[in-house]
Amino acid sequence: MSLGLLLRLGIGLLVLAFFAYRFYGVLVRGAYGAETWARLAISGLIIGSVYAVIALGYTLVYGILFMINFAHGEVMMIGAFAGYFVLEAFAASGFSARQPVLAIIITFLAGMTVSMLVGISLERIAYRPLRGAPRLVPLISAIGASIFLQNAAQLMFGSMRRTYSNPPALERNVGWVLEVAGKPVSITYTGVLTFAFSVVLMVGLYLLVQRTRLGRAMRAVAENKEAAALMGVDVDRVIANTFAISGVLAGAAGVMWGLHNGIIYHYVGFIPGLKAFTAAVLGGIGNIPGAMLGGIVLGIAESLTPAVLDMPFQLKDVLAFAVLVLVLIFRPTGILGEVLAEEKV
């Protein structure tokens, strides 16, 4: 064992011990009741499922191009805006009140379609011309595209915060009330919708990748582009499709974000994008189940860790990233990450 590894593991163990010590204190004092833990776990699960859906977009693109699409959060933001405008129109015309289910479905379709188109254009304009360039070059292009999309959204939509007008049947912060240890714990309708639709998207994506012709082609391209081309796969088309799929996922996440959290603005994709990227790394970048697991773990971590450590809730982001560092100390390739070696010849 090298000194560096020992040092790394030592730091990891120290941090773990500190966490355990704080958590022990919280438990002994009974600082939080069961209902608080339940509330935090539920909200972590919901936000985690959104992270997971966004993280899939990072991991799909990374798996095929070995590139982090830093503009992915902005693709989500554009989808959130598309959904917002559709929902505004529906609310104004009264359609939301009359046909809430249809209104929500159309809102999702609009967000997903617009984000898909943004994803496809992004690849065509910002990444395809750089195919074959050193890996750092498309990365810079991605950061540029991210800033471009933020500013374009600001120019088009202004920089004020806008509130999603949910249909009356899907009000925010309204839902079922469970009783935990004699205290009420609410589960919001938007939260249930978000979690359920995320699961549907994840299962759908998994089946697409594992069972369809396109999925097989994606896996083949991810492994070896030249060999895939020799099989008759149009590699450029598969890459474009991958961006389309990751755009669809980001658009769905954007609409879920709007419906559940309520507020959107031109910068709304940045933090969720960063968190989802973190989630993808946490799960093992390039690994599809890893991105799902990483998203859920990160969501729960950011929700529970402040309470576990008895620290202010405002520190949730810091603590979530501390969890990332901790996981990477013990598993540098992520929870489900394989060793990213080149294929064996």
Partner 1 sequence: MALLEVHNIHTYYDHIHALKGISFELDRGEIVALIGANGAGKTTTLNTISGIRHPREGSIIFDGQPIHHLPAHEIVQLGIAQVPEGRKIFSRLTVMENLDMGAFTRRDRAAIQEDLERVFKLFPRLKERRNQLGGTLSGGEQQMLAIARALMARPRVLLLDEPSMGLAPILVESIFQTITEISQQGMTILLVEQNANMALSVAHRAYVLETGRIVLYGPAAEVRENPQVRAAYLGEA
The site for partner 1 (CB under 8 A) is made up of 213, 216-217, 219-220, 223-224, 226-235, 343-345
- Could you give the CA distance from residue 230 to residue 238 in angstroms, rounded to a whole number? 14
Given a contact cutoff of 8 angstroms between Cβ atoms, the answer to whether 26 and 273 are in contact is no
- Of 180 and 235, CB closest to partner 1: 235
CB of 343 to partner 1, least distance (A): 5
- Could you give the CA distance from residue 214 to residue 220 in angstroms, rounded to a whole number? 10
- Could you give the CA distance from residue 169 to residue 101 in angstroms, rounded to a whole number? 9
- Could you give the CA distance from residue 286 to residue 338 in angstroms, rounded to a whole number? 9
- Of 318 and 340, CB closest to partner 1: 340
CB of 178 to partner 1, least distance (A): 43
- Of 65 and 259, CB closest to partner 1: 65
250 membership: H or E segment, kind and range: helix 235-261
Q: Report the Cα–Cα distance between both ends of the chain, in Å, rounded.
A: 29
CB of 57 to partner 1, least distance (A): 21
CB of 136 to partner 1, least distance (A): 20
DSSP single-letter state for residue 160? S
CB of 336 to partner 1, least distance (A): 14
- Of 182 and 232, CB closest to partner 1: 232
Given a contact cutoff of 8 angstroms between Cβ atoms, the answer to whether 57 and 75 are in contact is yes
- Of 29 and 213, CB closest to partner 1: 213
169: tokens are: 């049947």
